[in-house]
Amino acid sequence: MNAIDTIRQRAPHLQPRLAVVLGSGWGALTEHLTDAVQISYAELAGFPQPGVAGHGGSLWLGHLGAQPVAVLSGRQHGYETGAVDGMAVPLRALQELGCHTLVQTNAAGSLRPDMPPQSLMLLSDHLNLPQRSPLVGSSGSERFVNMVDAYDPALRAHARRVAQAQGATLFEGVYAWAFGPQFETPAEIRMLRLLGADAVGMSTVPETMLARHLGLRVLALSFITNLGAGMSPEKLSHAHTLQQAQIGSASASRLLADIIASLHNGVEPANAL
């Protein structure tokens, strides 16, 4: 049985309109779901098995407010296998099920002294540092994806309005995708700051390219867990990232739940939000 058939069998009455990918620090979002159905990636043909601490391996189907959603708890990173198309099957399946919008989340390092750990950053654009694409091997003219406004301006404006109404600080900036799994050197952090990046992480960009290829609108947020190498005396490690993400998980996930729940089915034309 293919993944789509399995999902329809397990959640026959749910037609998700919005897909979410949860990165480190965002797992508490599933606590806000109602009428939730959880399906292990192991039950879904073609879905990856995440191999990174802090990333689950389940698809959750349910509602955030009145919004029907499909939540991918955990992603496969390029550094796990060397391939950057690990999330292609899940995203195509959710698009076929009716999702028109993808909300992405990640943990990231800040390149700005005024954006400290525990901050949230809305992605306005990205730098594809490895110059790798999950669309390599695709055919047809659709593979030449326009990446201008890849992070939907209307969805970003909506997120800013929700954050402002709650009195929450929401930074906005450019996310640099580094392949990993090693952290960046201080020299690389200095280079990224010169290139105009505001945060750096090891995910998100491949999924954005896949989503735009599928015609999905994209909104993305970073949870800041640390300052970049050389910008503070702290010692960087994955354990430190998870610790910082855990501290802010509840508040970050609450804001994200409110942003999603207050969208109008995630399918409104951009000028309607």
Active site (annotated) includes residue 139? no
| Residue 126: active-site member | no
73 counts as catalytic: no
- From CA 264, how far away is CA 222, in angstroms rounded? 23
DSSP reduced 3-state for 216: coil
Find the catalytic residue in 203, 222, 249, 253: 203
Is residue 63 flagged as an active site residue?
Answer: no
State the catalytic residue, choosing from 202, 209, 229, 257: 202
Q: Which of 3, 28, 58, 77 is catalytic?
A: 77
- Lookup: tokens for 191: 């280079």
- Name residues whose C-beta falls within 8 Å of residue 69's C-beta, 6 or more positions apart in sequence: 16, 17, 18, 19, 20, 33, 61, 62, 63, 260
77 catalytic? Reply is yes
Active site residue 41: no
**Which DSSP letter does residue 234 get?**
P
Query: Is 24 part of the annotated catalytic residue set?
Result: yes
The separation between CA 182 and the C-alpha centre of its own chain, rounded to angstroms, equals: 20
Of 172, 238, 251, 262, which residue is the catalytic one?
238
Active-site residue, selected from the candidate residues 43, 80, 172, 188: 80
Residue of 19, 87, 107, 209 marked catalytic: 107
Query: Using the 8-state DSSP alphabet, how is residue 144 labeled?
Result: S
Catalytic-role residue among 28, 32, 55, 249: 55
From the list 36, 43, 63, 79, the catalytic residue is 79
Q: CA 103, CA 123: separation in Å to the nearest integer?
A: 11
128 an active-site residue? no
- Which of 3, 11, 19, 24 is an active site residue? 24
Task: Check 73, 110, 119, 226 and give the catalytic one.
Answer: 226
Query: Which class for 197: exposed (0-12), middle (13-18), buried (19 or more C-beta within 10 A)?
Result: buried
- Write out the catalytic residue numbers: 24, 55, 77, 79-80, 107, 202-203, 226, 238
